[in-house]
Amino acid sequence: MTDGAAIRSRFLPRFLTIATGRIERCSQLAERGDWNAITTELHALAGEAALLELRDIANLAREGERLARKPESQVECASILRSLEAQIAACASAS
Amino acid sequence: MTTKKVLVMDDSELVLDTVKEALETSGFSVVTAKDLTQLEERCSRGVPDLFVLDVQMPEMFGDDVGQVLRDVRKMKVPIVLFSSMDESTLAERVRDGGLDGCVSKSAGLGALVTCVESLLGTPRAS
């Protein structure tokens, strides 16, 4: 039996560091208009969060990834990035 | 009984380490690769009993890697896709690539372990 809770607990601090870095990179990439690179960062973040059962963060990252692919949705994607930053900070505070 | 070896490929080291921990806890031996160079190197040391491949990676798609392993390298071991893509897209890629299974990362580590056990058997029950 896989002890998901134990794995989550062990890897959560590392996830929070990585996730914070990914969002910082996304913000820099958004300033440069590199939305393709943002989809890569958010796709990776979605997978990492999903594995640690951080569903809110995973769902937001997936939505951000979807929006980043569409030029007309990039303002919405920037809003998702801010929500992700807040969610990650909340997760860090709670841990 | 010989421990079954699983090779996991993903460009995220965090994913590699969590999957390795989950599979090792379940009794499998795990080697990891974060890119094609590492995959080649790991395979040169011995063919694993099963591959777990991420799909969307910077230099290639995991289902393309799976097809090369199966069709060019003639590896007959099971190949499973593991991605945060939705399950219907993953299932389609498995069908198109003639691969053996898929697990969405949203389904969690337990679902991946169950999939690997269904293809290789349950180590601790053997």
ipTM reported for the complex, 2 dp:
0.88
Check the CA dihedral A61-A66-A70-A72 and report its sign.
Answer: negative
Structure tokens at A14: 């590392």
Residue B42 contacts residue B31 (beta carbons within 8 Å): yes
> By C-alpha distance, which of A7, A6, A15, A4 is closest to A87?
A15
Picking from B18, B104, B110, the nearest residue to A11 by CB comes out as B18
Max Cα distance, chain B (Å): 38
Averaged over B76-82, what is the pLDDT? Answer: 95
Domain range enclosing A80 = 4-94
Contact call for A48 and B15, based on CB within 8 A: yes
In the predicted model, is pLDDT for residue B126 greater than 80?
no
Picking from B11, B12, B25, the nearest residue to A3 by CB comes out as B25
pLDDT per residue over A26-76, tens digit each? 999 999 999 999 999 999 999 999 999 999 999 999 999 999 998 888 889
All domains in chain B, ordered by first residue: 5-85+98-121 (3.40.50.2300)
The pTM is what? Answer: 0.91
Contact call for A2 and B113, based on CB within 8 A: yes
Which residues of chain A neighbour B109 with C-beta distances below 8 Å? 2, 4, 7, 51
Residue B125: per-residue pLDDT: 47
Quote the DSSP letter at residue B3: P
Cα distances (angstroms) measured from residue B88 to each of B100, B103, B110: 15, 10, 19
Q: Beta-carbon neighbour count of residue A61 at 10 Å?
A: 30
Q: Compare all CA atoms of chain B with the CA of A13 and give the residue at the minimum distance.
A: B14
Cα distances (angstroms) measured from residue B37 to each of A45, A82, B12, B61, B86: 23, 36, 15, 14, 28
Q: Please give the Cα distance from A22 to B12 (Å, whole number).
A: 12
Instruction: For B11, list phi and psi in degrees, rounded to 5.
Output: -80, -10
Q: Compare all CA atoms of chain A with the CA of B16 and give the residue at the minimum distance.
A: A48
Q: Please give the Cα distance from A39 to B6 (Å, whole number).
A: 29
Question: Average pLDDT, whole number, for chain B?
Answer: 92
- Total domains in the fold of chain A: 1
Residue B122: per-residue pLDDT: 82
In the predicted model, is pLDDT for residue B26 greater than 50?
yes
Structure tokens at A1: 């039996």
Picking from A40, A47, A55, the nearest residue to B58 by CB comes out as A40
